[in-house]
Structure formats: structure tokens, C-alpha cells
Amino acid sequence: MTDFSTSKERQQIINNLPGRRIQEPIRALAEQQAADVQFANWGANPSGAQDYFVDGNAANNQSGLSWDTPNQSLSEAIALSNTSIGLSSNRWWARRNRIFALGDGELVENLTVFPEKCDIIGVGYDLLPFPRIVGNHVIAAATKGVRLINLGFYTSATSDLLVIPAGSHGFQMLYCFAHPGTTSTKALEITTCAHVRIIGNEITVGAGDMSVIFGVAISVEGTVIHDTIIEGNKITATAGIAIVEAAAAAFGSRIEGNTIRATALAIDDNSDDFQVVNNRWMTDINTSTSTAGYDFNLQLAAGNIQMGATGLCDTIPFTKIAE
């Protein structure tokens, strides 16, 4: 007979209750992921490819192959990674490099190249538990399979913070932090990319009030954007999530579980293809007419909650009280 007297036994019973075995909430997952990247014993690269290390306080012109000989900049490590992943002698085309980066505000650079089939992983501690990368990053050419994990992006100009070009399929931005400057336009602009994951990020204010925010937090542009997942992000911006093209083919895509503080539209899906599920937003728009606060396909929506400037709270789509 099972002993229910101990907390361990009680917890085991609770864990086995119907419905308990569900996906871990995205917030808890984000916190776990952020903790996991802090100087963990990562071990050898599981794919058999190469790891590179970046320390903004290090000397220049080192190999980047260990924390004892790190690269000084991300640009340097990215160049090395792109060389090694493409060597025919390595035959690493189906493998994945990793770049580990730390820096207390010392990673000041405007990136124009991303690494093919590579993770860039932030470790260490600055003001927050990730490195600060100070700059505005317009990536010139498509690279497939890039994942940005636990990185702090701080804008140094009034333009877009991070611009991802067409064809960068499989791009992922996971548990990162985006910080605006005065009149910053967009935190993330990504165009004509499929299989995208934008999960668990925080897009925040640049001051103690709403005077310094991004114009648009996440702007998904172009027409080939199927299987795009925007999930579990915490957003403060003029406009939250924008799907720009009405002609975009976006079936199989979701905007799910995001918390948005916007002064304008929190979610604006012009494609009408995204599933919009369990989002919560606050807007400065007068939502006496509920539909003034959003633009998406209600047939593909479920479980959203809106708070407007007039203090009226709406469930979206609307809840039917009776037949």
C-alpha cells in the first residue's frame, strides 16, 4: 500500500493525476534554460563539430578554442565557425558548431554576418545573467539554422536592432533580451523565413517609463513564413507583433502565450493565417469597440484576453454565454 504521509509520496501522486503531465509552462522553461547556460559543464559538442569561446575582456587574435584562449569579439568567432563548418575535409554539413559568449558590456559591434548551423549561447553575468551585445545588427546574407540563446541585445542607434534577411530558414531567438534606445524602430525584423522560433524573449523599455520603447517589437515580413512560432515572449513596445504581408503563406504558424504591453495594436496579423492562442495584452487604444485593439483571424483564435485604455477587459474571441 502506498504511503501518502511524506511530501515525496504526495507529490508523486499529484504528478500522476490526469492532465498533470502537460508541457512545462513557457516561463518556467525560460528560467530553466537561462539557468542552464550559466557556466554549465557543457562537455564536448554532441554533434562532433567545434565549440568557440568569446570573452570581451580577452586579448585579441587568440584561437577561440577554449576559455583560456577566447576570441575578443563575436565577429571573429563567427568567421572561424563559418570556415570550419563548411570545410569539405570536415564533412560537418549536418553538424552544428557552438559559440559561447560572455562580456560585461564589452561586446560592442554591429554584426553583419551570422554563423551557419551554429548556436550562439550567452553565459556569465553582467547586469543580468547574459552578456550585453551593444550595436545594431543587419545581417547581409542568409544563413540557415542559426540559434541565438540567452543573449542581451542593446541598441546603439535609432534603427532596427536585429534584421534577419530572406532565406534564413530555421532561425531561432530563444530566451534573449532586447533593449531599445531613443526612437528605436524594431527589435526584430525577419523577412521570408520559414520554420522560425521566437520563444521566451523579453523585449523591454529603455527607461523607467514608456518614453523609450521599440516602435515594433517583432515584425514578420515577406510571404514565405510558414511554421513560425512566436511563443512566451514578454513585450513592451508601441506595437507588439506584426505579420506584415496580407499575401503571406503562414499556415501552421502560432502566436501563443505572449504577454504584451502596447500603446497601439498588440497583435496585427495581416495574413490571417496565424493561430492566436492564450495571449494577454494591454493597449492604450480605446477598446469600447473590442475589435479596435487587435487585427487577426478570429476563427483561428482561442483564449486571448485584452485590456483597453477604458478599463474594459475582453475575451477574444468572445465567450458565448448561452445558445
Q: Does the pLDDT value for residue 69 go beyond 50?
A: yes
- Over residues 124-148, the mean pLDDT reads 93
| Best CA proximity match to 172, nearest among 189, 192, 147, 145 | 147
Residue 13's pLDDT band, with cuts at 50, 70 and 90, is very low
Q: Please, is 240 exposed, middle or buried when counting C-beta atoms within 10 Å of its C-beta (0-12, 13-18, 19+)? A: buried
| Best CA proximity match to 193, nearest among 243, 257, 255, 259 | 243
- When the pLDDT of each residue in the chain is averaged and rounded to a whole number, the result is 88
Contact 275, 255 (CB under 8 A): yes
Same domain, 30 and 168: no
Query: Which residues, listed in sequence order, are joined to residue 208 by a DSSP beta bridge?
Result: none
Residue at 185 is within a domain = yes
- Over residues 30-40, the mean pLDDT reads 46
Can you give the pLDDT at residue 104? 78
Q: How far apart are CA 224 and CA 250, in angstroms?
A: 7
Same domain, 95 and 197: no
Residue at 122 is within a domain = no
Q: How far apart are CA 323 and CA 310, in angstroms?
A: 29
Same domain, 303 and 172: yes
Q: How far apart are CA 294 and CA 302, in angstroms?
A: 14
| Best CA proximity match to 222, nearest among 196, 251, 243 | 243
Contact 218, 195 (CB under 8 A): no
Residue at 227 is within a domain = yes
| Domain span at 319 | 136-323
Query: Which residues, listed in sequence order, are joined to residue 75 by a DSSP beta bridge?
Result: none
Q: Does the pLDDT value for residue 20 go beyond 80?
A: no
Residue at 125 is within a domain = no
Same domain, 92 and 140: no
Can you give the pLDDT at residue 8? 53
Same domain, 44 and 82: yes
Q: Does the pLDDT value for residue 193 go beyond 90?
A: yes
Can you give the pLDDT at residue 310? 86
Give me the number of domains the chain comprises.
2
Same domain, 241 and 100: no
- Over residues 109-134, the mean pLDDT reads 93
The per-residue pLDDT for range 70-96, each reduced to its tens digit, is 999 999 999 999 999 999 998 898 899
Q: Does the pLDDT value for residue 11 go beyond 50?
A: no
Same domain, 99 and 199: no
Q: How far apart are CA 120 and CA 246, in angstroms?
A: 33
DSSP letter for each residue of 266-296: SEEETTS-SEEES-EEEESS--SSGGGG-BS
- Over residues 48-55, the mean pLDDT reads 94
Is the sign of the CA dihedral 313, 315, 321, 323 positive or negative?
A: positive
- Over residues 111-127, the mean pLDDT reads 93
Can you give the pLDDT at residue 42? 61
Q: Is 75 helix (H, G, I), strand (E, B) or coil?
A: helix
- Over residues 263-268, the mean pLDDT reads 97
User: Is residue 25 reached through a cis peptide bond, with omega within 30 degrees of 0 on the bond before it?
Assistant: no
Residue at 156 is within a domain = yes
Q: How far apart are CA 295 and CA 314, in angstroms?
A: 14
CA 309-312-316 angle, to 5 degrees, is 105
Query: Which residues, listed in sequence order, are joined to residue 137 by a DSSP beta bridge?
Result: 162
Same domain, 98 and 171: no
Same domain, 85 and 154: no
Same domain, 306 and 192: yes
**Does 13 or 320 have the greater pLDDT score?**
320
- Over residues 300-306, the mean pLDDT reads 97
Q: Examine the fold and report which residue of 106, 128, 146 is the final residue of a domain before the chain moves on.
A: 106
Same domain, 142 and 65: no
- Over residues 14-42, the mean pLDDT reads 45
Same domain, 238 and 99: no
